[in-house]
Each structure stands twice: as structure tokens, then as C-alpha cells.
Amino acid sequence: MNEKHFEQMKNGKGFIAALDQSGGSTPKALALYGVTEDQYSGEEEMFDLVHEMRTRIITAPAFDSSQIIGAILFEQTMDREIEGKYTADYLWEKKGVVPFLKVDNGLDTESNGVQQMKPIGDLEDKLKRANERNIFGTKMRSVIKEPNPEGIKAAVDQQFEIGQQIIEADLVPIIEPEVDINSTDKEKCEELLKAEILKHLDQLGSDDHVMLKLTIPTVANTYKELIEHPNVVRVVALSGGYETETANEKLKENNGLIASFSRALTQDLNVNQSEEEFNKQLGQAVTSIYEASIT
């Protein structure tokens, strides 16, 4: 484990930029950016365009460690280069930003009110390449839609089982059991989720470290115990589809919780903006999310 990465993630002031849209979410990310599906043909062109978008974001003046402490990458982004360096090396060496890798293969069908992760048959290979590319940690996402104790337990069990494999590969897993913001009983989901996570945290070895990525809770400071747990490097919040202003206001209510936003970071960026306009919009978004994260 890179100790400088660990120190920054444990104590750094700022937030994590989520730049890891993949597969089915890539066309949506491009459409939000102003690139419609009739402007590219096939996956290769699509991923070329999304790498251009991410390169534009990462190389922008506002994207550095003064406000952003980490960035989550899609596998193809990790394997591509920015200005002659692999993306993770560019992030750390040029921007001072700690790189993470999304390792899940998407969501399975819903069962017992949750969507667990699809099997990650190529996990060992991904972790090997992540280490070769100087990645610090990983991220994997499942989704909770209903307060079903059996379903929530299964989702958290799966997250920590795979998380242990990631720890053994000398990487820090970001465990992300997202609670759907449209859940009919979001607060109850969060109570059950917190209890299950605490059970697993208390079973970790003293040198085992994880991060948690959770939906901003309905009741402020619900996750205080998780934030303070000795095995937790950091608890970060996903925007969950909230607009930037709403996500930031909710985030400010939670002490010690920092952002790991995707849509809320990039929603006002457009391929047709001039560099001046693009950098201004990104700078405003970065600053607003940073201020909400350190409140």
C-alpha cells in the first residue's frame, strides 16, 4: 500500500471525484455532456469520446489536490493514457490525486429488495493490473431499494466477502451498498444497513482497512459510528441522482462525511463549451462540493 495515498485518504481535506461510468451508464454520461448516440458508432468510438471527456476534466486547472483528494476510474480509463502517462500516474504525479478503480461488473437482477453485484469472475486479474497501474483502492456498487433484512444482509455480506479479497491484494476497497433515494422507506433501509456494516467492521483484523461509499442519510449523522470506526479510512457520500445544490446541502448536515459525486460534479459541463466556459463551470462545481465536504 502506498502510505502517502493512505495518509491523504485518511486525513486530506476535499472530496473524491467519481469518473467511473461504464457499460450502460456511458451513453447517459456522454448525453449529459452533449454527445448524442448518433455521434458515434460502436463501443470503441463511444469509449474514445468518454476518455476525451475525462481527460478534459482531469487536465482542467480546478482538478487538483487542493480540493479533490481522490478519483475513481473505469477500467478502460485506467488502461489509457493522459499526456503520455497512464491515467493513475498522471493523477498522482501531476495532480496529487489518489487513484481508485471500479471493479464490479454491474448489478444483478433484484431479489429481496436489493440488487447485488454480478459475479466478478475476472477480479483477480483486475486487482493484479490495478497494482501494476499504481492504483490505491477499488470501488464496487450494489443497490438497496427496500428495507428487507435478508436482502440487505446478503448485499453487505457479498460486499465484505469481495472486500476481503481486495484487502489481501494490498488494496483498499470502497464498499458501496447504495440506498436508492427513491426508496419508500429510505430511513429504515439505512438503519438496517448501518447495523450490518458494523457487524462486518468489527470482524476485520486490526490492519484491515476499508472505505465506505453511502447514500447521504435521511437522518443527519446516522453514519457517525462508521466514520469513527478504526478500520474505516473514510466514509464518502454518493449524490444518488440529487442535483448538485441539493446534494451539497444534505452533505453539509453530516459531520465527517465527504463527497464522492459523479453527476453532481459534471452535470453542467458540455462538449461545446469553450475552454474558458468549461473550466469556469467545473471550477464552480469543484468548489461547491469541496465546501460542502469540509463543513
Joined grid coordinates for residue 289: 462540493
SS3 state at 285: helix
How far apart are the C-alpha atoms of 232 and 204, rounded to whole Å?
A: 10
Q: Which residue has the cell 453532481?
A: 264
**DSSP H or E segment with residue 68:** strand 68-73
SS3 state at 218: coil
> 232, 257 in Cβ contact below 8 A?
no
Q: Which residue has the cell 479479497?
A: 165
What contacts 280, CB < 8 A, 6 or more positions away? none
The catalytic site residues sit at 176, 213
**DSSP H or E segment with residue 178:** strand 172-179
Q: Which of 242, 230, 262 is nearest to 252 (CA)?
A: 242
